Amino acid sequence: MKRVVAIIGTMLLLMTVAAFAQVSKAKVATGSAVGTITSIDENKLVLSHKVKGKDESTTFVLNADTKKVGDLVPGAKVTVHYKVENNQNIATMVRASGPAKKK
């Protein structure tokens, strides 16, 4: 009888531990950038913006889930919201903030 109680107690303890050992999702790094579109196509956007006072270009991946608002053409000032997955900046939203510069 003691053996049965010990086995049942052990099983309950293991089930409790397993319930708390659920896999948690890794935190996804997110960010935003404001700048001018250098180039854009169906799959990527290159943004020219300042980082710590220096001009820098950053490439963002565009996909079917990317929300696009406004006239996204080279020269347009935009805000890009993105997440970092597999060392790539995946644009989640791109919003034009005004008319494109005329060349």
Cα distance between residue 43 and residue 37, in whole Å: 14
Decide: 89 and 82 in contact? Cβ < 8 Å: yes
Please tell me the total count of domains within the chain.
Answer: 1
Provide the strand spans (E) within the chain.
29-40, 44-51, 54-61, 67-69, 77-85, 88-96
Question: What six digits make up the tokens of 56?
Answer: 């820098």
DSSP 66: -
pLDDT of res. 15: 72
Predicted TM-score (pTM) of this structure: 0.68
Is 70 inside a domain boundary? Answer: yes
The tens digit of pLDDT for each residue in 77-94 reads 999 999 999 999 999 999
Domain extent for 45: 29-96
Residue labelled with tokens 């790539």: 88
Q: Is residue 101 part of a domain?
A: no
What pLDDT shows up at residue 74? 95
Residue 20 lies in a domain: no
Q: For residue 16, tell me if it sits in a domain.
A: no
**pLDDT under 50 in the chain at which residues?**
none
What is residue 92's predicted lDDT score, i.e. its pLDDT?
97
Best CA proximity match to 38, nearest among 65, 77, 69: 77
Q: In the prediction, which pLDDT does 51 show? A: 84
Indicate whether 2 belongs to any domain. no
* CATH number of residue 78's parent domain: 2.40.50.320
* Residue 79 covered by a domain: yes
pLDDT at 6: 79
In the structure encoding, which two tokens stand for residue 82, read together? 């993105």
Domain assignment present for 37? yes
